Amino acid sequence: MSTELRIGASGDIVLQLSTTLNRLGLLKSTASVFDQTIEAAVKAFQQERGLSVTGVVDSTTAQSLDEAKWKLGDRTLKLDPLTHMRGDDVAQLQTRLVEMGFNPGRVDGIFGPQLEVAVKEFQKSVGAKVDGQCGPSTVMAMVRLMKIVSGGTPQQLREEVTRANKGPSLANKIIVLDPTSDSTDEANKIAFDIAQRLEGRLIALGVSVFLTRSATSQASEAERIITANSVGADLVLSFNIDNYKNENAHGVSTCYYGSDAHGVHSVVGERFATLVQREICARTDFLNCRTHAKSWDLLRLTKAPTVRIDLGYISNPGDALRLAEKDFRETLVESIMVAIQRLYLASEDDAKTGTLKISDLRRVGLRK
């Protein structure tokens, strides 16, 4: 979508939008004028899908609406090397394969190479034609088999086992830092400063660190995702400082990949987001704006567990004053450092939130 749709828009494109919302059960009737009723339906859809709730149909919301209209069996699903097929039908296929013990990768609603392999493995197991495409015959085979197979969470278990197998030491891990604040120049500088401070401490502990941009450059979301995936990251941290029209908005929040619509979330991402949120709130007076599941592309398409950390509001005088202080930014860095180590600690080695110090971490395998 080249232009955003909001209150006041009209025409066939709005009629198409209202028809989709009606089909999804979010709107009682269709209309060709974008009014408050349609805005409320858009907000409900965005809330349901883990998107930013604005009531405005931007390119991200438009893509999610297009994905939501597909149900498994509506079309033949296959790997397109140029433009991967997306949709709820793809997510349903991934979910069913996971429940039957196959490994299609993350349930993200995108038909990629790993999903094609899983489809072929399923087809082979049921004696169907092995072509990696999910057409009517493959769907019917799944329907028959699903009646005798109980669901589970093997993909989530795989993710947790991978994290545990990494061990408690940070040495040799790969962490991508993504300072992305673009609300104001000052917010941009603060986010990059925090990332640089964290980079220095991680490198000193043997971590391979990659930044998605330099102090003076910017990168698109797609470029940042490519960077994180190309280096084989173990963990991705995205830093953001918000800017809002109402200066009363303030506080810290964290987001990880999760989709109620697809019935999936990142186990490791959720755990790390919770750890970061708790550590920062225990060590600072930032308002706790909680941890949230979101389906933004940065969280969904990055292969490694990815967490976005919203470090206050530059538009709030109190938050801005704290963020301007170097000592406060050091406290934020220490909070994040401890959360990273706690992610890899065994439960018996963990400590009460807000009490663990960086100096304490040597005893659990950090490089001296």
Name the average pLDDT for the chain: 87
Tell me: do 292 and 186 sit in the same domain.
Answer: yes
Average pLDDT over residues 7-20: 94
Burial (0-12, 13-18, 19+ Cβ within 10 Å), 262: buried
Count the domains in the chain: 3
Residues 136 and 266 in one domain: no
What are the φ and ψ backbone dihedral angles of 153, each rounded to 5 degrees?
Answer: -130, 50
**Which of 152, 185, 202 corresponds to the end of one domain?**
152
User: pLDDT tens for residues 159-202?
Assistant: 655 655 566 678 889 999 999 866 688 899 999 999 999 999 99
Whole-number pLDDT of residue 245:
85
pLDDT > 50? residue 152: no
- CA gap 113, 153 in Å, rounded: 21
Whether residues 233 and 269 fall in one domain: yes
Name the least confident of 24-33, 216-225, 330-339, 345-354.
345-354
Q: Could you give the CA distance from residue 171 to residue 22 in angstroms, rounded to a whole number? A: 52
pLDDT score recorded for residue 216? 83
Residue 140 lies in a domain: yes
- Same-domain check for residues 322 and 243: yes
Tell me how far apart the alpha carbons of residues 78 and 152 are, in angstroms, rounded to a whole number. Answer: 25
Give the global pTM.
0.74
Whether 184 and 317 map to the same domain: the answer is yes
Domain's final residue, options 99, 134, 152: 152
Residue 8 falls in which region: left (phi positive, over 0), alpha (psi -120 to 50) or beta: left
Residue 196 falls inside a structural domain: yes
Residue range(s) defining the domain that contains residue 31: 12-68
CA 266/CA 87 separation, integer angstroms:
19
Q: Do 352 and 212 sit in the same domain of this protein?
A: yes
pLDDT for 348 beyond 60: no
Position 18 confidence tier, pLDDT thresholds 50, 70, 90: very high
- Asked if the structure places residue 75 within a domain, the reply is no
* In a shared domain, residues 60 and 93: no
Mean pLDDT of the 104-128 span: 92
Whether 261 and 224 have beta carbons less than 8 Å apart is answered as no
Say if residue 255's pLDDT is above 90: yes
The answer to whether residue 255 sits within a structural domain is yes
CATH number of 304's domain:
3.40.630.40
- The rounded distance, in Å, linking the Cα atoms of 5 and 18 is 12
Phi and psi, residue 96, nearest 5°: -65, -40
Residue 203 lies in a domain: yes
Strand 288-294 and strand 235-242: the pairing is unpaired
What CA–CA distance (Å, rounded) separates 25 from 65? 13
Looking at the structure, tell me whether residues 128 and 52 fall in a common domain: no
In this predicted structure, what is the pLDDT of residue 359? 56
Query: Does residue 139 form part of some domain?
Result: yes
**pLDDT higher at 77 or 1:** 77
Q: Is a pLDDT exceeding 70 seen at residue 33?
A: yes
Same domain, yes or no: 312 and 230? yes
**Final residue before a domain boundary, out of 119, 152, 185:** 152
> Quick one: pLDDT at residue 168?
66
Q: How do strand 306-313 and strand 252-259 relate by DSSP bridges? A: antiparallel
Do 105 and 252 reside in the same domain of the chain? no
For residue 201, is it within any domain? yes
End-to-end CA distance of the chain: 52
What is the average pLDDT across 282-287? 94
Instruction: Identify the band that residue 368 occupies on the pLDDT scale cut at 50, 70 and 90.
Output: very low
Do 179 and 326 share a domain, yes or no?
A: yes
Q: What is the pLDDT of residue 193?
A: 95
Contact between 139 and 75 (Cβ < 8 Å): no
Q: Which CATH number goes with the domain that contains 18?
A: 1.10.101
Domain identity same for 141 and 253: no
